[in-house]
Amino acid sequence: MEVVLIDSGGANIGSVRYALERLGANATLTADPGTIAQAERVILPGVGAAGPAMARLRELGLVELIRELKQPLLGICLGMQLLFESSEEGEVECLGLLPGRIARMPASAEARVPHIGWNRLRSERDSHLLDGVADGAHAYFVHSYAAPVTEDTLATAIHGAAFAAVVARGNCYGAQFHPERSAAVGSRLLENFLRGAAA
């Protein structure tokens, strides 16, 4: 299977690639439009801020290509946020593949921001992407901004307020948590994505 990791400049790309290799997938790291267009599975990782990440995708000429992909596309962490219409972080227009706006998480004495650490996933609707992932299973998060809970939300988590932890619409999928750092839960989500992941 041809799996491509879009070279979005995120610091987590190496660990995502290693996690895929453990599942037997040889992922190609590239920013080449032709290679991305021909891949069977495309993954958009990301660590950092929405503005610079979208600027990099524009500089590489990848925005329209990503919007037009027909094969399964998985956004991870910031990569998931970029799938939405816009982000409050830097007031930036994103890819617009999922409706909704990314907003800063509310901070409180009980819920510090950034949200760093393990948190429970709460199932919202069935999807092949979460086959074998138990309701209440823990995943590892690192983020300050989050996606709203919508009809596209497969699982939520709560940190101050509920937010979308896993999403799906058509051929687009997203995980706010880091599957490459989430032990068996993350490995299962990646495996499900590689196997087909029909929402």
* Cα gap 59→142, rounded to integer Å: 26
Residue 48 and residue 9 in contact, taking contact as beta carbons nearer than 8 Å: yes
DSSP conformation class of 181: G
Backbone angles phi, psi at 157, to 5 degrees: -140, 165
Residue 47 and residue 145 in contact, taking contact as beta carbons nearer than 8 Å: no
| Catalytic residue (choose from 77, 94, 124, 191) | 77
Question: CA dihedral in degrees (179, 169, 100, 37; nearest 10)?
Answer: 80
Tell me if residue 180 is catalytic: yes
| Catalytic residue (choose from 89, 143, 178, 191) | 178
- List the structure tokens of 146: 């989050």
Tell me if residue 159 is catalytic: no
| Catalytic residue (choose from 94, 159, 172, 180) | 180
Residue 63 and residue 34 in contact, taking contact as beta carbons nearer than 8 Å: no
22 membership: H or E segment, kind and range: helix 13-22
Query: Annotated catalytic sites, by residue?
Result: 77, 178, 180
